[in-house]
Structure 1
Amino acid sequence: MWLPPKKTPKKMSKKIKITPNSDCEITVSSPKDTNGQRTTWIFIIEKDVLVAQSKYFKASFRFNEEHGPHAIHLEGDGLAAIQTWLYILHGSKLALDVRADVLAKFQARDIWDIIVAADKYQFKISLMNSFFEKWYKVHVKAKLACSDQNDKDVWDLARIVVLPCALFDYAEGFAEVTKWLAYNSRGHIAEKRPEGFKWEHIHLAPPDFVGPMNSARGRLKTVLHTNLWTRVGRLFQEGKRSSTCTHAPESAGTFLSALVDLHAYPLELVWPKNSVTEVLSLLSNFRDLRTGRCSVCTVWNWKELVEHAVVVTEHYFDGLCLDCMNRSRLPRGKDPDTEYWNANGSDGVGRWDSKCRITHGQPTWYHSFLGRHEDRQFFLKDGRDDDSD
């Protein structure tokens, strides 16, 4: 016996008046919850505002006027995201983007829903830049500054907000999050979607995030290793040249053994299992050593060496820079021109951030560069030549 298909049960709907000049209604149903139910909200809006701000709604209203029905029903959208968009598009006096209570209720998933709505309904995403910046400062900034590096929720949050920071062109947040991830991630770094998120084509391309982030983390290992090893290498060299030193190998071995005892060395074994911050924290427990009995061996202050290596590594990377990324990215098939050469690289006096919204050094510029490898090497050499003048 044929039975009609079951309708998806819906929770009781509510009406929300977006503007006093309303002349139209839009019905929006949320995705199904765990009980298979949808929540429905009806928004009372001004038709001309939506028509002016969205090609999607312009076409939908025109089609409905010609063919009917006159009502517009959206399904599967985040209700808070649609409500926020409608307030922003209508320039509501409610000033949703600065109200603390509204910001407090918004979660990372709602931010991604805002991005999806912009993509589906062809809203200008930059209209939400100010709202996102305020949301970030409420929900993300303090957590990154104060969280335990082993807090998985914060680590997941950082990976989730990377894409919104890029899409909403929030340079400060993007640098802050990418720096936090470089120093606090164990192993491979990749972006993350909110739980259950299914909008497949929203993501950062690997050259824009995964590649630079893991390259930066790898570089931090090299920087730390170089600063720990350089004096050891010099000790061996000077010990060989000295007619009185017979303890250089023993002194170097004592130093390296102390690092191993801290579980901070060798880096090739320690790095995959620990974050940069964890390794530096282990090294901070280093105690001074007494090594050798000659002028070559006793000249080294091993504790000072380790402290210097930690400080250099801590301050080496400032996160990725959206401005450097955008300037250095070449359209497919286009070769660098005069404007490109003038826009990228250092400013001739050793600064790599003079055209950027954030303050950063050469390492951030290097890992943010999205142009061709040979062009990056040219800019790098040119910048070094400028520094030496």
Structure 2
Amino acid sequence: MTSLSDASVSTDRTPSEDPVLRGTNQSGMRAQNERLVLTLVRQHGALAKSDIARMTGLSAQTVSVIMRALEQDGLLERGTPQRGRIGQPSIPMSLAAEGALFFGLKIGRRSADLMLVDFLGRVMRLERQVYRYPTPGAVVDFVASSLPRLIADLPEHLRGRIGGLGVAMPFQLWNWVQSIGAPQSEMDAWQHRDIQAELAALSGLPVFVQNDATAACGAELVFGTGERPKDFLYFYFGTFIGGGLVLNGQLFTGRSGNAAGVGPIPVPGPDGQTRRLLDVASMSALATAMEAAGESSDHLWAQHEEWRVSPAVLDAWLDGAAHGLAHAILSAAALIELEAVLIDGWMPKAIRAALTTRTHVALHALDLAGIDAPAIRQGTVGANARVLGAAAIPLSHRYLIDQNAPNRDTWSRF
């Protein structure tokens, strides 16, 4: 596991060869070195002091001081001593689940989620609200009523370990009123309300805001499992479809924080006419098809475990979405060498698996001359990637090596 923006260690070189993962023995860099140690332990799992010293180039004494401090702060905990053939047994140190807690808030076009997670990214509490469309007032009221419930039975010593609130939300919500059937006058309020400031005043915590699909991609970096490619494109299916881009192990957010906003990518539709990707590959496209067939789509927004969709409608949607994704992937792969494409979303696992398989087939049915086709894989975080990604923002900002941590200058653009 890694921070939102910094490189995972590649498989073709050792960590000590990566300048980002090098430490310094200067006493003034203690905070940076502590972040470095926490990042490595998150990436690799439990590590002994000797492992950290070898990976970073820090002296054994410096590593000992850092890890002792992190243990005293409750951020690291000791594992079972590992005995070798000679010398003292080594003691692996791992992240302490209760070392730090974080709130994540997902503001979606159809629902809002507020979650409390521990240092490992495990869900401790969750509140959810479904609505017809989002307004700033409704979101603030939701947080105001939900926060007390999330911490009601939390021990006092853990309340003091809550390190921040991350917010994942679509950018420029006021520009999507026709797509979600919301009144323009109510959605325009997003242009004038400072949600970051309101939530900071409400919670008493530092608040960070990020594009929702970018945050979902960040969750894959921080909390994801399995092999983590250094260069990958990430798709998240929500009401619309959003994306994230990771280059050299770092989340690429772009100048305005909206890089890899894949929804507007032009792709051929079922009739051969050019469409936007979001028009063929999104839950809103599925909902439209369901309503046209006389099927209710309301349950799609309330839960993700089961879709009650007729086989004919679902099959047509899967094919259309897969072909749209394949063309978008081909365009991206022609511009950037991608190791993999990850597909995730607010959907049942079986649907995600089927969509991933069909996308692979659709991509390889295209003309790939001159293209090194990326692997098509399922995301590993799942339906809650956006809200988990939101919680990962303050975690990364405070405790991990993170060159792209949000700041006040970027908040104003949201």
Q: In proportion to residue count, which structure has more helix?
A: 1
Q: Which has the higher strand share?
A: 2
Select the structure of larger CA radius of gyration.
Answer: 1
TM score, norm. by length of structure 2: 0.28
- What is the TM-score with the length of structure 1 in the denominator? 0.30
Considering Cα pairs closer than 8 Å and 6+ residues apart, tell me whether 1 or 2 has the greater RCO.
2
